[in-house]
Amino acid sequence: MADIKNELTKKLGFGCMRLPVTGGDTNAIDDTQFCAMIDSYMEQGFQYFDTAYPYHNEKSEEAVRRCLVERYDRDKFLLATKMPVWMVKETADYERLFEVQRKRCGVEYFDFYLLHAMNKDRARETEEKGGFAFVQRMKEEGKIRHIGFSFHDTADVLDDILNRHPETEFVQLQINYYDWESENIQSRKCYETAVKHGVPVIVMEPVKGGTLANMVGEPANILKGLNPEASFASFAIRYAASLENVMLVLSGMSDEAQLADNTSYMKDFVPLSEQEQQAIAKVVEELEKLPTIACTTCRYCVEGCPKKIVIPDVFHAYNSVVQFGLNDITRGNYNRAVANNGRAEDCIKCGKCEGQCPQHLPIRDLLEKTAETFAG
Ligand code: SF4
Ligand code: SF4
């Protein structure tokens, strides 16, 4: 198998799941700003864009067509998207969804194509319905250049899927320094499993859904002590990129400032020094003392909640209290999260959300705690 790492000039990928929008409306992608961000990213020699069928209420792939595909020659960028396997009811759906994606993106082929959000059950189901065979056929037909999958489960499950599917050319994993040793996410174990199989890794959520970009107290002091000019996010992204078998780190970039920050240290990437690695280990120690909820805002739990509780927004509000205390601003975060939606105390404990959560969070208990925090 040719080394696909050689296709990538740089280790930073443009995640298209949190694009700039107008008026706070996730459907209203701001093309002008997105185009400007793409131009800046491309001018600096970066080339990889990662979208997916459901991003931005299914508007991301079309925005990529308008702002990237229709403005740049096809050989100037690498485009990745993902099969929404949960929408497949029968084998014919793979072809139908794939064609919708080619049309939305306006391309003949995808450079990197992933089966989206594999876990133990989804992998079995995808096998049974012929999803793995379908992507291989698309590769043979030249409509996909490289096949892989994104993954949310334990290292054992990853090992099993890679054993059954040696055709896999890359995997996309959740890796960040906070979750490196976590038993829920198993960043280290999953990474080492990929290494064992000789499969290169694309990292998603390197900043843990933005969590590692906003630190206070001792963790903040430690990182500022290393370099007062560097953003907190820069350490998280460089940490993931410093892993040898990581070929790319995705960052979901939402505005030009974030893009400028990410590209500044990833343009001529320097791996973390020994001193920086030690400081990050100390940061993890300190962070573990803070009892925040480890929600990555993937939003997989939101749709199925019968009480319409926007769980990640509610948890974000709770976490802001853990970090900054209960004040007008943090209370405002909660009020916004529950405006026109369910409140934490509305939870009927049906448990539907917990089955969707890649972080395996005890959502029901945590909502009870959140309700107590904001009561009165
Ligand atoms: S357990 Fe609560 S939060 Fe979860 S889906 Fe049911 S009502 Fe919604
Ligand atoms: S599924 Fe879990 S991690 Fe994802 S938004 Fe919901 S609570 Fe957070």
Task: Kindly identify the ligand whose nearest atom is closest to the C-alpha of 342.
Answer: 1
* CA nearest ligand 1 atom 3, residue: 347
Q: What is the pLDDT of residue 1?
A: 45
Residues 69 and 194 in one domain: yes
Task: Kindly identify the ligand whose nearest atom is closest to the C-alpha of 356.
Answer: 2
Which protein residues touch ligand 1 with a CB less than 6 Å away? Answer: 304-307, 309, 311, 347-353, 363-364, 367
Q: How many domains does the chain have?
A: 2
| Closest by Cα among 95, 82, 170 to 122 | 82
Residues 201 and 319 in one domain: no
Residues 22 and 153 in one domain: yes
What whole-number distance in Å separates Cα of residue 265 and Cα of residue 204? 18
Q: What is the pLDDT of residue 74?
A: 98
For residue 153, what is the domain's CATH number? 3.20.20.100
Can you list the positions of beta strands (E) in the chain? 12-15, 48-50, 78-83, 110-118, 144-151, 170-174, 201-204, 246-252
Residue 277: give the domain boundaries: 4-286
CB 164 within 8 A of CB 131: no
pLDDT mean values, one per 10 residues, the chain (376 residues): 81 96 92 98 98 97 98 98 97 98 98 97 97 98 98 96 98 94 88 98 88 81 96 96 98 95 98 97 85 88 95 91 70 89 96 93 97 90
| Look-up of token digits 């000039």 | 9
Residues 234 and 339 in one domain: no
- The alpha carbon of 157 is separated from its chain's Cα centroid by a whole number of angstroms, namely 19
Which protein residues touch ligand 2 with a CB less than 6 Å away? Answer: 295-301, 311-312, 356-357, 359, 361, 363
* CA nearest ligand 2 atom 6, residue: 301
Taking the model in full, what pTM does it have? 0.82
Residues 269 and 362 in one domain: no
Q: What is the pLDDT of residue 3?
A: 82
Cα dihedral 166→172→173→175 (10° resolution): 130
**What are the phi and psi torsion angles at 250 (to 5°)?**
-90, 140
Task: Kindly identify the ligand whose nearest atom is closest to the C-alpha of 346.
Answer: 1
45 CA to centre of ligand 2 in angstroms: 34
Q: Which of 18, 293, 296, 314 to mutate to test the pocket of ligand 2 (most atoms within 8 A of CB)?
A: 296
Residues 268 and 315 in one domain: no
Residues 203 and 74 in one domain: yes
Q: What is the pLDDT of residue 182?
A: 80
Can you list the positions of beta strands (E) in 66-109? 78-83
Alpha carbons within 13 A on the beta-carbon side of 260: 4
Q: Is residue 342 part of a domain?
A: yes
